[in-house]
Amino acid sequence: MKRVMILSLLFALAFVVSVSAQTVAISAPNGPVSPSYGSWVGMNGRLYQNDVNNPLAKINFMIPQSGTMEYDFNVRYQGGGFEDLKGGFGIQVFIDKAFNGKSWGDGNSYLLWLNYDNNPNAYGGSGFRAQVYKSTSPVEMHIVPSLNYSLNPSVLTRSNVSTIVPVKIVVNGNTGSVKVYDPTHSTPYYYAFTLPTAPGSGQYVALRTNSLSVSFGDMKVTKLQ
C-alpha cells in the first residue's frame, strides 16, 4: 500500500489535502474558507456554499492534471432554487490559471454544469439542462452548443434534491473524451461525449454554484494514466 502524506497547505487557508501517488483527496476543516468567491464554509468534513443569491460562487483547488483524470465527490442540496426557479452547480477542470475573485470564466478550462432556469431567455436554454462550457479567460466563457442537453425536470422535488448524490467524471486530457457516470444505476453506467478540443493539462480544479446553496463531500481527484 502506497504511503499517504497528510499536508497542511496555505492554499485555501486551511484545506487538509491527502496525497498518494495518484490521488488528491480534499477535506475542509470547520470555518470560513478563502480565497474563494461566495460564502464557502467547512463543517463536519463537508464544504458548504451558503449564498443562494450569488450566481458566480466559486472555489479553486490547486491540483495538477494531465492524461486521464477522475473526479469524485458528492453533492447535497441545502437551499435556494425553488423560490426564484433557478440554480446550478458544476465542476471546472483542467484550469491553467485560476482566478479567485468574481468571474464568469476561469482560465483556459472546461466547466461541466447542471442547471435549472425557468427564464425562457436563459443563456443556453430554459429548463433543466446538462451543459459544457469552454472558458478561455476570467471574462470569456461560452457554452458548447453540441453539449447542451435537456433533462427531465420531474426529478427536481424537495425530497429528491435533499439526497446526497455521488458524482463521478472521467476526462482524458489528451483526447478530450469524457465519461459522466449515472448515480441512479446499480451497475456502472456512463454518458460519453468528446470535448471540442483536448484540454491538455491544467493546474486547478474549481467547484461552482449559481443562485443555490449546496454542500460537497468526499472530494478526490485521481490520475488514472
| Closest by CA position to 75, among listed 39, 42, 117, 46 | 46
Distance of alpha carbon 192 from alpha carbon 74, whole angstroms: 20
Whether the CB-CB separation of 191 and 179 falls below 8 Å is answered with yes
What does the pLDDT look like over 72-108, one tens digit per residue? 999 999 999 999 999 999 999 999 999 999 999 999 9
What's the predicted TM-score (pTM) here?
Answer: 0.90
CATH architecture assigned to 51-223: Sandwich (2.60)
- Encode pLDDT of 14-63 as tens digits: 455 566 558 999 877 788 888 899 999 999 999 999 999 999 999 999 99
Q: What 3-state class would DSSP assign to 160?
A: helix
User: Per residue in 111-128, pLDDT tens?
Assistant: 999 999 999 999 999 999
Q: Which helix (H) or strand (E) holds 142?
A: strand 141-150
